[in-house]
Amino acid sequence: MEREAIRRRERLYVGGEWVTGPDTFPVTDLADGGTFAEVAAADADAADDALAAAEAAKATLRDTTIPQRCEWLQAIADGLRDRKTELAEVIVREAGKPISSARGEVDSAAERFERAKEEIRHLKGEYREGTTSGHEGWEAIVKHEPVGAVLCITPYNYPLATTALQVAPALAAGNAVVLKPASKTPVSAAILAEIVDEAGLPDGAFNFVPGKASAIGDELAGDDRVNAIAMTGSSGAGKHVAYESGMVNLHMELGGNAPAVVFDDADLDDAAAAAAKGSLKYAGQRCSAVSRVLAHESVHDDLVERIDAGMDDWVQGDLFDEDTDLGPLISESQADWVAELVDDAVERGATVVRGGERHEQADGVHVFEPTLLANVPQDARIVDEEQFGPVCAVTTFDSDDDALDVANRSDLALDACVFTSDYDRAMRMAEYIDAGAVRINGAPSHGLGDIPFGGNEDSGIGREGLDSTIHEFVRKKSIIL
């Protein structure tokens, strides 16, 4: 059945008011091609207005109570669920995500607002007594207070769920928010701004400023009125923001290049299924994707055969078809990048077991075939560089030390996974692999944020998660009696 494309025009939301920007930018329809939304582009003046509004709201927000904030969080969660159908369709079109996954993202975002409500109820102060010489009889109340204003910089791959993971803890902790969404996927965030507007927060508590990072990124990140920055994005962009930001709390989840280390005693069916899913989910455009499979040389061929069979179950097609698992890449430039890494691996001797080709499916819609590369040399770029594409690249190792060397060679250290039936080996590898999280006998997954996650080295600063992020957005004050 032919569908009528959505046509939307989105505005900025600053200081409790909807305003137009001096210019607009288009959002590509990754389901049907062409443009489905025109979004106001904030300039430096609009960014300054948003920062001023957040600054003005700090005092009011600081005086709010946890029950008040919990009411806002629940109202936002309810609003997301009320507009689930609309939001899911928007995510399909702007992010190129299959409809079943898009619905799941809306559910996850709503639940994150609800869970933030529960987590903030557990944030309690402390009572301490002086125990050192000269401080006898001292008593102190240690309380939490909001840091002030949080700049949220969100990615294109989970435009609503990741936004919720930043915005919900910031509001729960009593901070003002300035949201700068990814330019490729700002429409779902615009709908979130409408829902926040209806929830009755004080003016300036939430500000929505879409626009090009080149135009407003430095203006936002480098301003003294920002007290904390939450960012999910590439390592390069994260380094730039960190350079510009100065003395603020940085809370960053950046690039990933997760290895799946498969030993000769692993359950190969489980490992193959995890490798296929970890590589192909959302066309590999996830920081926690399985970016490279390190297989013991004795099981390489068997594992590749099983991964190949598992990829048969992944359907690439109409994004509004319930059976579709795979969509397009976010842009032509991303397709170019994935093709560059695949070509490099093949030139160095890798074997293309399946896929390896790209296609322009419609105007602005670029699809990369589900791809499996075998016998990938360890010196291929795809072993060390983040790909963000639907490619499972399998290389080999011959010993535990060799596996560790390859796994830890990249500057990206976000996630990893290990497949083995040997408990001691699993724990030893988990201890020595340089990553923020290592999963045993399963693909990396961040879930809703119950377990802290984040990266080492170039993969980030701090740990995300609802409770963890709330603690990043408050500071302790000691009142000494």
- 232 lies in the same domain as 287: no
34, amino acid identity: G
The total domain count for the chain is 2
Q: 5 falls in which pLDDT band (50, 70, 90)? A: low
Least confident of 127-131, 145-149, 386-390: 127-131
User: Do both 205 and 170 map to the same domain?
Assistant: yes
Residue pLDDT, tens place only, 167-214: 999 999 999 999 999 999 999 999 999 999 999 999 999 999 999 999
Selecting among 287, 385, 386, 392, the annotated active-site residue is 287
Residue 319 and residue 416 in one domain: yes
- pLDDT at residue 264 is higher than 50: yes
Query: Interior CA angle at 235 toward 232 and 239, to 5°?
Result: 100
Q: 376 with 426, same domain?
A: yes
The C-alpha atoms of residue 42 and residue 23 are separated, in whole angstroms, by 8
454 domain-assigned: no
Q: How far apart are CA 257 and CA 416, in angstroms?
A: 8
Q: Please check whether residues 352 and 216 belong to one and the same domain.
A: no
Question: What is the average pLDDT across 441-446?
Answer: 92
Residue 1 lies in a domain: no
Contacts of 437 (CB under 8 A, 6+ apart): 414, 415, 416, 444, 451, 453
Q: How far apart are CA 2 and CA 479, in angstroms?
A: 65
pLDDT > 90? residue 131: no
**Could you give the CA distance from residue 18 to residue 37 in angstroms, rounded to a whole number?**
17
Side-chain-side CA neighbours of residue 2 (13 Å): 1
Active site residue 253: yes
Of 170, 174, 173, 214, which is closest to residue 192 (Cα–Cα)? 170
CATH number at residue 228: 3.40.605.10
Q: Which of the four pLDDT bands, split at 50, 70 and 90, describes residue 130?
A: confident
Please state, in angstroms and rounded to a whole number, the distance separating the CA atoms of residues 446 and 284. 15
Residue-wise pLDDT for 22-80, tens only, equals 899 999 999 999 999 999 999 999 999 999 999 999 999 999 999 999 999 999 999 99
Q: Quick one: pLDDT at residue 1?
A: 37
Mean pLDDT of 430-459: 93
Domain contains 285: yes
The CATH number for 354's domain is 3.40.309.10
Full domain range(s) for residue 84: 8-254+459-480
Provide the pLDDT for residue 6. Answer: 54
Q: Has residue 393 got a pLDDT over 60?
A: yes
Domain contains 470: yes
Asked, for residue 2, whether it belongs to a domain, the answer is no
How high is the mean pLDDT of the chain?
A: 95
Are 131 and 52 contained in the same domain?
yes
What are the φ/ψ torsions at residue 93 (nearest 5 degrees)?
-75, -45
Instruction: Express each pLDDT in 310-362 by its tens digit.
Output: 999 999 999 999 999 999 999 999 999 999 999 999 999 999 999 999 999 99
Same domain, 150 and 242: yes
> For residue 7, is pLDDT > 90?
no
Which helix H or strand E contains 173, and what residues bound it? none
Rg (CA), the chain: 23
Q: State the pLDDT confidence band at 447, using cuts at 50, 70 and 90.
A: confident
Q: How confident is the model at residue 291 (pLDDT cuts 50, 70, 90)?
A: very high
User: Is residue 2 predicted with pLDDT exceeding 50?
Assistant: no
- Please tell me whether residues 302 and 325 are part of one structural domain: yes
Active site residue 287: yes
| Structure token pair of residue 155 | 């990615």
Indicate if 465 and 376 belong to the same structural domain. Answer: no
Give the type of residue at 334: Q
Over 90: is that where the pLDDT of 402 sits? yes
195 occurs within a structural domain = yes
Are 365 and 466 found together in one domain? no
Q: 253, 385, 464, 472: which one is catalytic?
A: 253
The answer to the question of residue 248 being in a domain is yes
End-to-end CA distance of the chain: 72
Same domain, 203 and 280: no
pLDDT per residue as tens digits for the range 214-254: 999 999 999 999 999 999 999 999 999 999 998 899 999 99
**Is residue 3 situated within a structural domain?**
no
Q: Which of 405, 426, 416 is nearest to 453 (CA)?
A: 416
Assess whether 197 and 322 both reside in one domain.
Answer: no
